[in-house]
Amino acid sequence: MEKEIRNIVFDMGRVLLHFSTEDVISPYFPDPAEHALVYETIYGSGDWVLLDDATLTEDEAMARWKAKLPIEWHARLEELFARWPETMTPIEGMEELVCELKDAGYGCYVLSNASVRFEKYYREKSVFSHMDGLFVSAFYKMLKPDPAIYRRMCEEFSLDPEECFFIDDIAANIEGAAKVGMRGAQFPSYDVASLRSDLVAAGIRI
């Protein structure tokens, strides 16, 4: 018999907040050829993931990127990297959903693959003020979908994974959570109404 769900665990990017590489890069490199090269340098190289598990520091990442890009682009690159969290705006309806879940008595948590920069910007995002705990990959040097990160988060906050429901935009991350006993749902293209239906179907009171 399944245990009652008591806690809702949210991914951050594309679940609670918008995240788009287009929004990050285009204000500084609108030319298509420049945009493509910057995208490949930052995201296609895998360096962004290395920031998320703290294998790479921000200074090391910037040095790598500058070595690959023309020197006349460096000032724009630095501004892009300094200001990219500003592009992470709230997804309409998600903070309200979090508040409803809290009012219904559920614990609410964040489990995100994110860099140490999170510590500098999360207070500016009001949705995090409603959370009972924040678990960010870089501070533990672990990444979703490795089952170990879900176990570690549950240990950190004294949660039973079988009493947790996990929401993420990436199917592989839902599958990773399932390996430790967490039920979950993939968040479909910012469709909050569909997510609500998934929560209700799982027996969650909203």
Q: What is the pLDDT of residues 4-46, one digit of tens each?
A: 999 999 999 999 999 999 999 999 999 999 999 999 999 999 9
Mean pLDDT of 169-186: 98
The count of C-alpha atoms lying within 13 angstroms of the C-alpha of 200, restricted to the half-sphere facing its C-beta, is 8
Is 185:195 a contact under the CB 8 Å cutoff?
yes
pLDDT of residue 52 exceeding 90, the answer is yes
d(CA 47, CA 187): 25
pTM: 0.97
Model pLDDT, residue 72 = 98
In this prediction, residues 142-167 reach a mean pLDDT of: 98
* 3-class secondary-structure state, position 41: helix
* C-alpha distance from residue 92 to each of 42, 103, 127, 157, 190 (Å): 28, 19, 11, 28, 8
Q: What is the pLDDT of residues 60-72, one digit of tens each?
A: 999 999 999 999 9
When pLDDT is cut at 50, 70 and 90, the band that residue 1 belongs to is: confident
pLDDT of residue 108: 99
> Which tokens in the block code for residue 94?
């998600």
Q: How far is CA 189 from CA 64, 168, 199, in A?
A: 33, 11, 16
Find all residues with CB under 8 Å of 120, minimum gap 6, and list them: 85
Q: Is the pLDDT of residue 188 over 90?
A: no
Q: Phi and psi for 143 in degrees, rounded to 5?
A: -140, 145
CA 198 to chain centre: 20
- Placement of tokens 């690959």 in the chain: 68
Q: At what angle do helices 192-201 and 94-103 cross, to 10 degrees?
A: 30
Confidence of residue 168 (pLDDT cuts 50, 70, 90): very high
Question: What is the arithmetic mean of pLDDT over 123-132?
Answer: 97
pLDDT of residue 189: 83
Percent of the chain residues past pLDDT 90, beyond the cut: 98
Alpha-carbon distances, residue 151 vs 61, 135, 162, 164, 172 (angstroms): 29, 11, 11, 11, 16
Q: Report whether 195 contacts 167 (CB < 8 A).
A: yes
